[in-house]
Structure formats: C-alpha cells, structure tokens
Amino acid sequence: MRQMNFVPDAINRVSYYECVAYLITEALMLNIIPESYKEISTIHKLITEAFDQVKVAELVDIIRQSENFIPELSLVAVENEEVLGHILFSQITIETPNQTIPSLALAPLAVKSSHQRQGIGSRLVEVGLSKCREFDYPLVIVVGEPAYYQRFGFQTAGKFGLRSSLSFPDEVFMILELKPAALTNITGTVRYPAYFQDV
C-alpha cells in the first residue's frame, strides 16, 4: 500500500520539476512581441507557407494598411531572432439594434510549419488576448477550428444570438468575452470589413 502511494508521489515530483524547467526554458527563449517593419516579408512568407496559399498573407497586408490595424496587436513569436509565429487582432464592429460595439477579430494565426504543435500558437493566443484586454476591448471574434479555440474560452457566437455579415458554418464562428458579462443582452451582427470577403 505504502509503495503504491510512493510511486505516484515521485512521478508527480518529477513531472512538476520538468514542467517548471520547461516553462522557464520557454520563457527565456520564446518572446511574444509586436511585429517590426523589418519582419513584414518574413511574416508574409510564414503565413503563406502555414496556410499553403497567399491570400491570407495578402489579407494581413491589407489590414496593415487599413484604419482597423492596431500595431501593438500584430504580434510575432520570436526565438533567437527567428520569427516562428504570428497573430493579428484587428478592429471590427458588432451592430446591435441600439449600439455599435468596437470589437476585435482574431485573424489570422499562423505558426511556422516546422515548429507547429510545440505550444507556440497557444502562447500567441494567450499573450495576444491579454494585450487585447489592456486595450479595453470587450469582445474578440474568431473563425476557426472549435477544438483549438475552445481551450482559450471561445464559444459559438450563434448561441448568444450573434450573426455574421459573412457566411460561415455556425460552429466555426466563435466569440470570447474579454470583460465579464460583455455578452449580456448583446444580439446583432458582427460586421466584417469587405477585405475579409475574398479569403
């Protein structure tokens, strides 16, 4: 009986220290920071490779030139001066019967093909969302894989009575509250700028 208790404790201790070491290594090596103009062509290439098409990278270039671009919310994951991932949050609006709510669209998120499934995408989302909170936006919308985005708290937007100005399957159209109760009594339309239409 004692031995049965001893083994799981030992395993837990090892896992704990391994986990702390992993987090420290990660923290020291991977930086999530706003993009710089020098990285723009690298980001374009990374997105094109990750999505296996150029349209998403072109969308980022268009957003960068638009009034909806927020430089501090275009973030890169950098390790040893190499850009390994990118995430962009840009402004969109939610139109309700009595108000227009400035919100953010998370689009796109891309990690360099050779470095996927190592937690870089998750770090970009987590750090990105905390930056969005600093900017005081109430809501973030994403169109993406539910199995991936649910882990960050995104929920199907349709269940709150929200529609999209573009046509997406219900399950991929998701929303996250950045402020408590931001979705209370909000029904209406997420209005995407026209440049999202071609992607």
Ligand X SMILES: CC(C)(COP(=O)(O)OP(=O)(O)OC[C@H]1O[C@@H](n2cnc3c(N)ncnc32)[C@H](O)[C@@H]1OP(=O)(O)O)[C@@H](O)C(=O)NCCC(=O)NCCS
Find out whether 70 and 164 touch, Cβ atoms under 8 Å.
no
Query: Given candidates 96, 122, 156, 165, which one binds ligand X under the rule CB under 6 A?
Result: 122
Query: Given candidates 32, 59, 63, 108, which one binds ligand X under the rule CB under 6 A?
Result: 108
Q: How many CB atoms lie within 10 A of CB 154?
A: 22
**Consecutive H or E run containing 92:** strand 82-95
**Residue nearest ligand X, Cβ-based:** 121
**Total chain residues near ligand X (CB under 6 A):** 17
Least distance in angstroms from the C-beta of 149 to ligand X: 8
Q: How many CB atoms lie within 10 A of CB 117?
A: 7
Please identify, among the stretches 30-38, 65-73, 110-118, 132-140, the one whose residues bind ligand X according to the rule CB under 6 A: 110-118
Range 40-79, binding ligand X (CB under 6 A): 50-51
Range 14-33, binding ligand X (CB under 6 A): none
What is each CA distance from 132 to 89, 118, 138, in whole angstroms? 8, 23, 9
Please identify, among the stretches 13-21, 94-102, 127-135, 141-149, the one whose residues bind ligand X according to the rule CB under 6 A: 141-149
Report the alpha-carbon distance of residue 103 to residue 117 in Å, rounded: 29
